[in-house]
Amino acid sequence: MMGNEQAKDLPRGVKLLHDPVRNKGTAFTSAERDRLGLRGLLPPRVCSPSEQELRVIGNLRNKATDLERYLFLVSLQDRNETLFYRVVINHIEEIMPLIYTPTVGQACQHFSHIYRRPRGLYISLEERGRVRQIMENWPHRDVRVIVVTDGERILGLGDLGAAGMGIPIGKLSLYTACAGIHPTHCLPITLDVGTNNEAFLNDPLYLGLERRRERGAAYDELVEEFIRAAQEVFPQSLVQLEDFGNCNAFRLLRQYRDQLCLFDDDIQGTGAMALSGLLAALRLAGGKLVEQRVLFFGAGQAGIGIGNTIAAAMIEQGLTPDQAHRNCWFFDTRGLLTTGRDDTPPQKLPFAHEHAAIDDYAEAVRILRPTAIIGCAGQANTFTQQVLQTMARQNERPIVFALSNPTIKAECTAQQAYEWSEGRAIFASGSPFEPVQLGNNVYVSGQGNNAYIFPGVGLGAVVSRSTRVTDEMFLAAAKVLAAQVNDKDLALGRVYPSLSRIREVSALIAAEVAAIAYRQGLAQRDEPGDILADIREHMFQPLYPHYA
């Protein structure tokens, strides 16, 4: 719905009211009600969009729990997408935690019990050989962004199988709200290859395949068939890989990134998000990026993705690859990542350094003396009082990023980070925390949310019709985001801009990504005279059309 439509081309009556893309609810004018067979099907008063928004917000705030608020918003999205996005955009700081992390994690855990209406496509192992046919069942033909998951590593919650569909749905809601990708251009997909979640396998209401997760050739065949079908049915689409397990995420990215417009948000988007926060944090802590020593807790997709991105930025600033990787240290389930280990996965090898084994994270902090610690393993309370006090003794302004989602998986809380560092920590988290008051000071921590990165990167790729998404694009996105952190943000201790500015930030990132696509010959359209103006012109605005 990109503009006005003729009444003769629309469904009529109840069918129109049940079409979430075209429905205006009580905002249908009197004339439209006559032309479209709506007279009597709606209350007599014609409401303005602002009046509708007021009603939605009032009802939302009357709900008792965040899960109830999530369900209320999903129901609104199912019946009136324009109003849904108007409300989300105008109240983004309040609503993003409801439609995405942390609440979406809870929604995924209960997905089979709260399921209401279908949204997105489910492609299971049983559909091998018919994937293209399934994708042709999607009602909207001009798909530009596909977010796909196999549900194995949903946030920090693990294998949720088909119940992980809440993540692609939520991510695509952010593509529209944060970057203006039109709702009909978005397609959430879940590849259902089973689950190893015992609770789900024993749940009579679980909606996915009742079998253990496939690991063999059948899995690869389904993914390959999906990739080919996506290219054939939706040739202008970008594919975002989301929440795949470590055993598949890195290899699928390596396999397909040079074949189509594709990226993995958990690896590349998280890397750019964290690099941006680190760059902004150095404006408070002082020092250069190439002088930092970062100690990670967790060496999965997020950790290695962040390490790769930080190393790439350090190389860009003059370090050799070996020097850059030596500035990043990892602590995983086996302790400190060192060269003495056997069977180190290839993605970890650049970060395996010569050092004595250490199996205690607090001890690793004491010995390695990092300037920044980054948590991304989904293990709550691992940034202990001992860890944070050691960081504070060794650094005037210790950088502490507790990035695991949802909130219950955070390595520490904002209160703990500030309190145990005597208010000197530069703190960011994956899920939001309330402001913290210590004495006369109030600290407002930044939320290291990938929503600052992936919508803008996707928008730039879509508008330029780029054939690839490159690492250079993510480095550029990180720099653009860091530059949008202003002195007011820093004075509060926040290393990310206010969420209220996220559409502006996404447009700036998209313009830089598109510029790279044009410059590198990846774009399938001619470069416009004003790239940023062109980006903004393509951004969806939640405005009702007039049905003439």
Q: Quick: pLDDT tens for 125-155.
A: 999 999 999 999 999 999 999 999 999 999 9
Is 172 inside any structural domain? yes
Q: Which of 24, 70, 85, 171 is catalytic?
A: 171
Whole domain around residue 250: which residue ranges? 99-260
Phi, psi (degrees; rounded to nearest 5) at 140: -105, 125
Are 143 and 249 contained in the same domain?
A: yes
Are 30 and 87 contained in the same domain?
A: yes
Are 167 and 211 contained in the same domain?
A: yes
Contact 145, 186 (CB under 8 A): yes
Are 442 and 460 contained in the same domain?
A: no
Is 242 inside any structural domain? yes
CA atoms within 13 A on the CB side of 261: 28
Are 391 and 309 contained in the same domain?
A: yes
- CA neighbor of 318 nearest in space, from 353, 279, 291, 293: 291
Helix (H) / strand (E) element for 300: namely none
Are 195 and 278 contained in the same domain?
A: no
Axis-axis angle for helices 454-464, 471-483 (nearest 10): 120
Phi, psi (degrees; rounded to nearest 5) at 188: -85, 135
Please tell me the distance from the alpha carbon of residue 297 to that of residue 299, in angstroms, as a whole number: 7
pLDDT tens by residue, 482-517: 999 999 999 999 999 999 999 999 999 999 999 999
Please tell me the distance from the alpha carbon of residue 219 to that of residue 192, in angstroms, as a whole number: 10
pLDDT tens by residue, 375-390: 999 999 999 999 999 9
Domain count, the chain: 4
- CA neighbor of 175 nearest in space, from 461, 403, 517: 461
Res. 8 pLDDT band, cuts 50 70 90: confident
Please tell me the distance from the alpha carbon of residue 296 to that of residue 378, in angstroms, as a whole number: 12
Q: Which of 24, 70, 85, 100 is catalytic?
A: 100
Is 316 inside any structural domain? yes
Are 295 and 252 contained in the same domain?
A: no
Are 71 and 131 contained in the same domain?
A: no
Is 533 inside any structural domain? no
User: Region 415-435: what's the mean pLDDT?
Assistant: 96
- Within its chain, how far is the Cα of 232 from the centroid? 26
- Position of tokens 């709550």? 380
Please tell me the distance from the alpha carbon of residue 440 to that of residue 187, in angstroms, as a whole number: 48
Are 186 and 202 contained in the same domain?
A: yes
pLDDT value at position 502?
Answer: 97
Q: Cα 454–379–304 angle (5° rounding)? A: 45
Is 385 inside any structural domain? yes
Res. 7 pLDDT band, cuts 50 70 90: confident
Provide the CATH number for the domain around residue 18: 1.20.1370.30
Are 240 and 203 contained in the same domain?
A: yes
pTM, entire model: 0.96
- Cα dihedral 361, 363, 365, 367 sign: negative
Is 391 inside any structural domain? yes
- Position of tokens 């080919």? 228
Average pLDDT over the chain, rounded to whole?
Answer: 96
pLDDT value at position 1?
Answer: 41
Are 139 and 213 contained in the same domain?
A: yes
175 an active-site residue? no
Pairing of strands 335-336, 328-332: antiparallel
Long-range contacts formed by 14-22: CB under 8 A, 24+ apart: 14/41, 17/41, 17/42, 17/79, 18/79, 20/77, 20/78, 20/79, 20/80, 20/81, 21/81, 21/183, 21/184
Are 133 and 161 contained in the same domain?
A: yes
Is 275 inside any structural domain? yes
171 an active-site residue? yes
Return the number of other C-beta atoms located less than 10 Å from residue 510's C-beta. 31
Share of the chain above pLDDT 90, in %: 97
Contact 530, 513 (CB under 8 A): no
Q: What is the CA radius of gyration of the chain?
A: 24
